[in-house]
Chain A
Amino acid sequence: QQQVKQSPQSLIVQKGGISIINCAYENTAFDYFPWYQQFPGKGPALLIAIRPDVSEKKEGRFTISFNKSAKQFSLHIMDSQPGDSATYFCAASYSGTYKYIFGTGTRLKVLA
């Protein structure tokens, strides 16, 4: 019940295309869903995050879509660029805890 299932494991997208990464969770107590972006040799960096009181959050080319009833959330990268090539992790946490449950990661490659 503490798992966050992430898919796909890897993704190849043409420049200008849309990248979509999906995550699903079981624990309905989760109330914070961040996405992290990790470049080789670097630590994960917070990209965008959402709380379940909204169904969508957009920051530039990055959008989180959240479906509370389905217990799923996804990251959409519009107009994908080669510089977006990185590993993306979804995560889930809940208030009053320090624990984050991370997905297994998606390695995105955007072709020029």
Chain B
Amino acid sequence: DAGVIQSPRHEVTEMGQEVTLRCKPISGHNSLFWYRQTMMRGLELLIYFNNNVPIDDSGMPEDRFSAKMPNASFSTLKIQPSEPRDSAVYFCASSPDSSRASPLHFGNGTRLTVT
């Protein structure tokens, strides 16, 4: 079990640039989550996919944020254009069962710095 794989681990970019974060969930998991972690706001759910379909994107802060899941083994979170306040650690997590509360398996995150 390779766990949830995220890339890149670190991303430093300038304000206005496009940023794409990538995630490979655990094979067989049908739920995928994108979270953002900051000191001020803790862990925030950005978007939730079930069986590759976006179910809840109410946590996506602005239209600058978009997420896709073209297949069961890959998801992206894109920020365009990026702003300094987007600096945070972004986590992808997957879960085997959406019908009942089950453990989230987190990746090691992408630390984004926007200058």
Asked if residues B43 and A96 are in contact (CB atoms below 8 Å), the reply is no
Asked if residues B43 and A46 are in contact (CB atoms below 8 Å), the reply is no
How far apart sit A104 and B38, CA to CA, in the bound complex (Å)? 10
How far apart sit A42 and B89, CA to CA, in the bound complex (Å)? 10
> Which one of B4, B98, B105 lies within 8 Å of A46 (CB-CB)?
B105
Chain A, residues 26-43, CB within 8 Å of chain B (1/0): the string is: 000001101010000111
Asked if residues A43 and B93 are in contact (CB atoms below 8 Å), the reply is yes
Say how far B23's CB is from chain A's closest CB, in angstroms.
11
Say how far A34's CB is from chain B's closest CB, in angstroms.
6
Chain A, residues 73-95, CB within 8 Å of chain B (1/0): the string is: 00000000000000001000111
Q: Does B75 contact A (CB under 8 A)?
A: no
How far apart sit A97 and B100, CA to CA, in the bound complex (Å)? 7
How far apart sit A49 and B108, CA to CA, in the bound complex (Å)? 21
Q: Which residues of B contact A95 (CB under 8 A)?
A: 99-101
Say how far B48's CB is from chain A's closest CB, in angstroms.
5
Which among A31, A46, A103 has the highest number of chain B CB atoms within 10 Å?
Answer: A46
Asked if residues A43 and B109 are in contact (CB atoms below 8 Å), the reply is yes
What residue in chain B is nearest A49 (Cβ atoms)? Answer: B103
Say how far B7's CB is from chain A's closest CB, in angstroms.
13
Q: Does A66 contact B (CB under 8 A)?
A: no
Q: Does B19 contact A (CB under 8 A)?
A: no
What residue in chain B is nearest A44 (Cβ atoms)? Answer: B106
> Which one of B56, B95, B101, B109 lies within 8 Å of A94 (CB-CB)?
B101
Say how far B62's CB is from chain A's closest CB, in angstroms.
21
What residue in chain B is nearest A102 (Cβ atoms)? Answer: B43
Q: Does B12 contact A (CB under 8 A)?
A: no
The 7 A-B residue pairs whose C-beta atoms are closest, nearest first, are: A43-B106, A32-B101, A93-B101, A95-B100, A46-B103, A102-B43, A43-B108
